[in-house]
């Protein structure tokens, strides 16, 4: 996924080809991600598809902002960076309410008051952050002036403006993800994300073939020093013995809930995967990337999409989903 553009196959066509003993064709459909997180489209065989976008809205907006930088739309980049931060604040407030076992209805009723004001959302986030982690969130009020000049005073943003603001917002978002992943129980976080996805899928009626898509440019990975060491050893091993490594990966995937490790004798072994709901005692957030690295990622995805589009991508017949 890059920004709002997604290339996806028709799930039903894919299933039918497999059942008929054929290799599924590479044909896919180009769709745009709607705000609901559910993209509905009809393939050229008239199958109705629903694609659940599992990324949070702030992750999609951040991708859009970075795509704007790649395309040199600097004013639009600032708009999208600002929106990504606001939606990240909302995500945080909703998560903390969920952790405190506040019902979704009560949260929605309360959030209505904040929804239409950036300053109110900042205030709600700032105090909830303080109450939850006992330290204030480091927030640079001066950077809001840059945003306000572009958004409210019609100032035409320069490349330097957009990059300065982008680095600042990215750092804020990473700080929030770091605070969440290192302090909030993974069980709570997983239940919260799963609840949000269930809410989305419950809106889709039975005639749709439902598939899910998750390809955020942001990583939520927490790792222990031991796991990081294993990652290094596995990389080295896969370069030295690529065939054996690929074979073991397939074996581990088949077994389910297994991962690869290198033992004390330097052998490749299959071990139990850690429980995703258990907090890693000496774990740290390891997903941070620089803006330049994310720009490189988005550029690669865009190039890939341009190449695939030249052969196998068709325009989907998008179904209006404003009422779901």
Q: How far is CA 55 from CA 27, 51, 175, 214, 219, in A?
A: 24, 12, 18, 6, 11
**Per CB under 5 A, does 40 bind Zn ion?**
no
Q: Which C-beta is closer to Zn ion: that of 46 or that of 153?
A: 46
Q: Strand 313-315 vs strand 258-262: parallel, antiparallel, or unpaired?
A: unpaired
CB 290 → Zn ion: shortest distance, Å? Answer: 41
Three-state DSSP at 213 gives strand
Spatial distance between the Cα atoms of 291 and 167, rounded to a whole number of angstroms: 6
The pair of structure tokens assigned to 12 is 């039903």
Q: Which C-beta is closer to Zn ion: that of 98 or that of 208?
A: 208
Stretch of residues binding Zn ion (CB under 5 A), selected from 9-17, 66-74, 254-262, 269-277: 9-17
CB 317 → Zn ion: shortest distance, Å? Answer: 11
**Per CB under 5 A, does 27 bind Zn ion?**
no
| Other residues' Cβ atoms within 10 Å of the Cβ of residue 179 | 17
Three-state DSSP at 54 gives coil
The site for Zn ion, by CB under 5 A, has a size of 6
CB 42 → Zn ion: shortest distance, Å? Answer: 8
Q: Which C-beta is closer to Zn ion: that of 31 or that of 43?
A: 43
The pair of structure tokens assigned to 242 is 């690529």
Binding track over 180-219 against Zn ion, x by CB under 5 A: ----------------------------------------
The pair of structure tokens assigned to 50 is 């629903």
Q: Which C-beta is closer to Zn ion: that of 291 or that of 313?
A: 313
**Per CB under 5 A, does 45 bind Zn ion?**
yes
Stretch of residues binding Zn ion (CB under 5 A), selected from 2-10, 92-100, 219-227, 243-251: 2-10
From 10, 31, 78, 83, residue interacting with Zn ion (rule: CB under 5 A) = 10
| Other residues' Cβ atoms within 10 Å of the Cβ of residue 23 | 7
Rg over alpha carbons for the chain, rounded to the nearest Å, is 22
Minimal CA–CA distance to 183: which of 85, 279, 58? 279
Stretch of residues binding Zn ion (CB under 5 A), selected from 35-43, 131-139, 232-240, 248-256: 35-43
**Per CB under 5 A, does 47 bind Zn ion?**
yes
Minimal CA–CA distance to 44: which of 6, 13, 8, 15? 13
**Per CB under 5 A, does 13 bind Zn ion?**
yes
Q: What is the DSSP letter of 219?
A: -
Q: Which C-beta is closer to Zn ion: that of 15 or that of 148?
A: 15
Give the binding site for Zn ion (CB under 5 A).
10, 12-13, 43, 45, 47
């Amino acid at each position: 996924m890059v920004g709002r553009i997604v290339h996806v196959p028709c799930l039903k066509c894919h299933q039918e080809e497999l059942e008929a003993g054929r290799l599924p064709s590479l044909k896919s459909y180009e769709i745009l991600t709607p705000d609901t997180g559910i993209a509905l489209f009809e393939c050229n065989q008239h199958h109705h598809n629903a694609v659940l976008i599992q990324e949070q809205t702030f992750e999609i907006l951040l991708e859009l902002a970075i795509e704007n930088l790649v395309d040199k739309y600097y004013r639009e980049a600032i708009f999208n960076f600002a929106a990504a931060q606001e939606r990240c604040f909302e995500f945080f407030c909703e998560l903390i309410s969920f952790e405190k076992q506040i019902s979704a209805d009560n949260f929605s009723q309360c959030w209505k008051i904040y929804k239409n004001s950036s300053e109110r959302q900042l205030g709600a986030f700032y105090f909830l952050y303080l109450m939850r982690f006992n330290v204030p969130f480091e927030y640079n009020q001066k950077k809001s002036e840059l945003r306000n000049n572009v958004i409210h005073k019609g100032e035409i943003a320069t490349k330097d403006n957009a990059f300065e603001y982008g680095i600042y917002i990215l750092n804020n978002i990473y700080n929030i993800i770091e605070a969440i992943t290192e302090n909030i129980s993974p069980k709570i976080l997983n239940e919260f994300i799963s609840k949000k996805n269930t809410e989305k899928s419950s809106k889709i009626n039975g005639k749709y073939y439902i598939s899910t898509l998750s390809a955020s440019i942001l990583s939520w990975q927490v790792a222990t020093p031991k796991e990081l060491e294993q990652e290094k050893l596995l990389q080295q091993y896969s370069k030295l013995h690529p065939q054996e490594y690929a074979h073991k990966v397939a074996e581990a995937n088949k077994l389910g809930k297994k991962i690869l490790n290198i033992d004390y004798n330097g052998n490749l072994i299959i071990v139990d995967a850690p429980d995703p709901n258990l907090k890693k005692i000496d774990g740290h957030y390891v997903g941070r990337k620089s803006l330049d690295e994310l720009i490189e990622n988005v550029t690669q995805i865009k190039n890939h999409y341009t190449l695939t589009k030249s052969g196998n991508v068709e325009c989907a017949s998008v179904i209006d989903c404003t009422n779901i």
